[in-house]
Amino acid sequence: MRYVLFICTDPEGEPYDAATDDPQAWWEPLQASGQYVIGDRLRPVEDATTVRVRAGERIITDGPFTESREWIAGFDVVEADDLDAAIEIAAGHPMARFGRIEVRPVWPL
Amino acid sequence: MTAPTERGAAAAVAAVVADDHPRVMAAVVGTLGDWSIAEDAVQDALERALARWPADGVPDSPAAWITTVARRRGIDLLRSRAAADRAAERLAHEPAAEPDDASGASGFPHDDERLALLHTACHPAIAADARAALALRAVLGVPVERIARLFGVGEDAMQKRLVRARAKIRNAGIPYRVPGPAELPGRSEGVRQVLYGLFAIGYAAPADADARAAASEAIRLARLLRELTPERTHERVEADGLLALMLLQHARRDARVRADGSAVPLPEQDRDRWDRALAREGLALVDAALALAASSGLAGGRHLVHAAIAAEHVRPELAARIDHGRVVELYRVLERLDGSPFVVLNRAIAQANDGDAEGGLAALDEVADALERHHLLHAARGDLLRRVGRDAEAAEALRRGAGLAPTDAERRALVEAAAAAEAGR
C-alpha cells in the first residue's frame, strides 16, 4: 500500500538534536529498499498561498487555510505492506520525536 | 451426521457461536484478508446452517462446516465487490487456502491466528471506543444489540462505530497478524488495557446488570488471551495477571454493592457473598504467575502487580487479616511500573491501613495537584484525617469530595461521612 506521511511541527515535541536527528539516515535505507517514492521539505506557512474558487471567482489569500500553531513541514510518500509497516517507517523519522507525523493511506481513483 | 431436528440444529449453531467463534472468524479472516467481509460471511454461514441443518442434519464438525461455507461466501462477496482488488489478488496467489472438503476438520487456524484477531481488533489505530466492541463482535460473535447495551449506547450508534472501525482496518491497511517482537510488548499491553477497560465498565457499576455482563464478557476475552499466549513469556505472565485481577475483583461483585447501588467498603463486605470458586481460581493464578516470574526472571508488569494486590485483599477470606505491609510494598512496586497518581493514592490508603495514617497523608500530598479535581483524593484525605483525629479538616475534605463525586450514590455516601466527621461520630 502507498502511504503519505505528513511531517508536522508540534510545539509539544521533544527538542531538536542535530547529532541524532538526521533525516538522511532515515531516508537512505528506504531509498535502497525501494519503499521510498517521493518527498520533500516545505517552505514555512508564511510562504503559503490559499486558492479558492467561489461562484466562478478566484479568491487568493496569503497564508495557510487554517491558523494553527502546528503546520505541515514536509511530506514523504512511501510503499509499505500495511499500516504497521508504515507506522514503523514513520516512527523512525526524526520529526516523529520533535514534531509529529500523520500517516494517511492514499485513496487511488 | 446427526439426525435432523430443528432444535438440534439451533443448538448446534449456538454452540459454534459460543465455543468456536474465535477460531472460525480467525480462519475466515485469514483466508479472505478482509475483516468486514469475513464478519458478514460468518454471519451468512451461521444463517445458512440454521436454514439447512434442520433438513440435512448437523454435520460431524459443525465449526468446520461453518468455516468452509463462510470462506466460500466470503470469496463470492470479494469477487462481487470491485473495491476488493487487493484482497482478491491475494486470494489468487493463495489457492491452497480454500479447503475443498466441507466436512473435514482441517483448515483451522493456529492459536496465533486467533491471537492476531485480538491484536487487530485492539489495534491502537482503531478508535478507542470501538476496540473492545470489535473484539466482542468479531472474536466472540456477540450480537451488536447486546454489545450496544453493554456500552450503554443505542444499537444504531454501536453499528456505526463498528462499521467505522472495519472501514479503518480495510482502508488504512491495518494488518491481521500477531505483531513482531519489537512491537509486541506495547501492542499486547494495549490489548490488555482494552480488555480491562471493558471489565471496568462492570466493575464501576456493579448494580447494573448490563454493565456486569460487560465484566463477564471481558473475562471470556481475558481467558482466551491467556490461553493463546505462549507460556513462559512476559506476555503470558501479564495475561495471567490480567485474568487473575478480573477474577479476584469479579469474585466480590455481589458483596460490593448495597441494594441502593452504593458501594460497600472492603472491611464491611459480607464475605459469604464472595464467589469463592472465582476467588480461589484467581489466587491460584496469581501465585503461579508470581512464582514463575520470581524463578524465571520474567518480569511481571502492572496487571500482575495489581492482581497481587487484589489477592492480598481476598486471601484473608481464608486467613485472619490482610497483610497491609505487603500491600504497601506491592503498591510501591506498582508505582515504578505505572506512574498514575491513583496508584499513589491507593498506596496512601494502604499505609493508613498498615497503621501509618500520617505517612498516608504525606503520600496524598504528593498527588494533591494531580488529583485536585477528583473526588477520590478528597474522600481518601477525609478518611485519613479522621484516623488521626482531625475531624473538622476531615469534614471539609469529605464535603469537597462530595461536590466532585460523579454519581449520586457516591455523593450521598460522602455527605453522610462529612456529617459524621463533623459530629465526631
Per CATH, the number for B111-172 is: 1.10.10
Domain with A101, as residue range(s), is: 2-105
User: Cβ A105–B172 below 8 Å, yes or no?
Assistant: yes
Strand order in the sheet with A2-9: A36-41, A72-79, A2-9, A99-105
Nearest residue to B304 via CA among B233, B252, B409? B233
Q: What is the pLDDT along chain B (425 residues), one digit of tens a residue?
A: 666 677 788 888 888 888 888 889 888 988 888 888 888 899 889 888 988 898 888 999 999 999 999 999 888 888 776 544 554 454 444 433 333 333 333 344 556 778 888 999 999 999 999 999 999 998 888 889 999 998 889 999 999 999 999 999 989 999 888 888 888 888 999 999 999 999 998 887 777 888 888 899 999 999 999 998 888 888 999 999 999 999 999 998 888 888 777 778 777 788 888 888 899 999 999 988 888 887 777 777 889 999 999 888 887 665 556 778 888 888 888 887 777 888 899 899 988 888 888 999 999 999 988 898 889 999 999 999 998 889 999 999 999 999 998 888 888 888 988 998 888 77
Rg (CA), chain B: 25
Quote the cell numbers at residue B248.
Answer: 479476584
Do residues B341 and B367 lie in contact, with contact meaning Cβ atoms separated by under 8 Å? yes
State the total domains in chain A.
Answer: 1
Residues on chain A touching B125 (C-beta within 8 angstroms):
83, 87
Average pLDDT of chain B, as a whole number:
84
Q: Which of A81, A83, A88 sits opposite B172 (nearest CB)?
A: A83
d(C-alpha B68, C-alpha B57), whole Å: 17
d(C-alpha B50, C-alpha B62), whole Å: 11
The whole-model pTM stands at 0.70
Do residues A23 and A94 lie in contact, with contact meaning Cβ atoms separated by under 8 Å? yes
A8 in contact with B, Cβ within 8 Å = no
According to CATH, the topology of domain B339-425 is: 1.25.40
Quote the cell numbers at residue B196.
Answer: 480491562
Residues (pLDDT < 50) of chain A are none
The residue of chain B nearest to residue A81, with distances taken between CA atoms, is B173
Q: Which of A80, A83, A107 sits opposite B125 (nearest CB)?
A: A83
> In a 3-state reduction of DSSP, which class is residue A101?
strand
Where are the domains positioned within chain B?
6-95, 111-172, 185-322, 339-425
- For residue B145, give Cα distances in angstroms to B43, B148, B337: 14, 5, 38
Beta bridge partners of A2: A79
> In a 3-state reduction of DSSP, which class is residue A62?
strand
**Cα B175–Cα B178–Cα B179 angle in degrees, nearest 5:** 80
Do residues A94 and A20 lie in contact, with contact meaning Cβ atoms separated by under 8 Å? yes
Residue of B29, B89, B183 to mutate, interface with A, max A Cβ within 10 Å: B183
Give the CATH number, domain containing residue A33.
3.30.70.1060
pLDDT tens track for B84-93: 455 445 444 4
A49-54 and A57-62 strand pairing = antiparallel
